[in-house]
Amino acid sequence: MLAIVCPGQGSQTPGFLTPWLELPGARDHLTRLGDAAQLDLVEHGTTSDADAIKDTAVAQPLIVGAGLVSLRALLDQHSIDVVDVWAGHSVGEITAAAAAGVLPEERAMDFVRERGRGMAAASGLTPTGMSAVLGGDQDEVLATIERHGLTPANVNGGGQIVAAGTLEQLAALAADPPAKARIIPLQVAGAFHTSHMAPAVEGLAQLATTLTPADPQGKLLSNADGEVVTNGTDVLKRLVGQVSNPVRWDLCMQTMLDLGVTALIEVSPAGTLVGLAKRAMKGVPAVALKTPDDLDAARDLIREHAGTSNPTD
């Protein structure tokens, strides 16, 4: 059983799309997605510097566009029926929803454009941020995060929880961390997936009323609780609410294991989710599509692990 997963914000690096745009049709594809997002995604994926692509309003459409471009390259000889399970981390859930057919690509880019702009604006209201808490006992980590008034914005599994809140609260956590845990400040603009993002929800909810979602093809997992969501309207509602609520990637990985996933491919900009899977989904082979050089290994997983009811040839 094959799962395709889609990364979230922070996975992008300067120039990461350059080799992908050498593939036939990829540049035109990304240009169309950028037009829908009202951004030059070709420039941002090839020549923009780290500061430019760290901007939330740029980073989120760039990540979704990159995922869709690399996915098309991966599945150029297959239909999406070879994919049994779809999941995405944070903004990557929009990539997964578009890939599963819930929204047409251009409408998904409209949605992520509004999401990125709204979250960037919300981040400017109060100085906030996020820090990764690595290691320690999970119950103690969660208790310490709560004691400092922070939110466990990402519970990622594999011994990684991301705390989010005001810069003062994060400084207090760094000064008084959980036992046997390391605190690593993240280079993000705000406290994503917390109540600090509530101002971004209203505009996104209004946009959602203009969209007509389809039911997903394959099993699409939700960041809210790791559950399989079969109704397109429910998927869209969850995507709106996700902005100000925690991401439970640990539960998504557990659901993949419960469903019997036997292989995992992470679309570009890849690496983070495969790293988490290696710790929390031990024994499940995984390929990170960092460059087109990784396509052959990923296609091998498709041939070997796609559901028997979904022919790959």
Q: For this structure, is 193 an active site residue?
A: yes
CATH of the domain at 220: 3.40.366.10
- The catalytic residue among 11, 70, 90, 244 is 90
Q: For this structure, is 78 an active site residue?
A: no
Per-residue confidence of the chain (313 residues) as pLDDT tens digits?
999 999 999 899 999 999 999 999 999 999 999 999 999 999 999 999 999 999 999 999 999 999 999 999 999 878 888 999 999 999 999 999 999 999 999 999 999 999 999 999 999 999 999 999 999 999 999 999 999 999 999 999 989 999 999 999 999 999 999 999 999 999 788 999 999 999 999 999 999 999 999 999 999 999 999 999 999 999 999 999 999 999 999 999 999 999 999 999 999 999 999 999 999 999 999 999 999 999 999 999 999 998 644 433 3
| Residue 108 and residue 256 in one domain | yes
Number of folded domains that form the chain? 2
CA distance 160 to 111: 28
- The catalytic residue among 148, 193, 196, 305 is 193
Q: Residue 39 belongs to what domain range?
A: 2-123+195-305
CATH of the domain at 180: 3.30.70.250
| Residue 101 and residue 149 in one domain | no
Whether 273 is covered by a domain: the verdict is yes
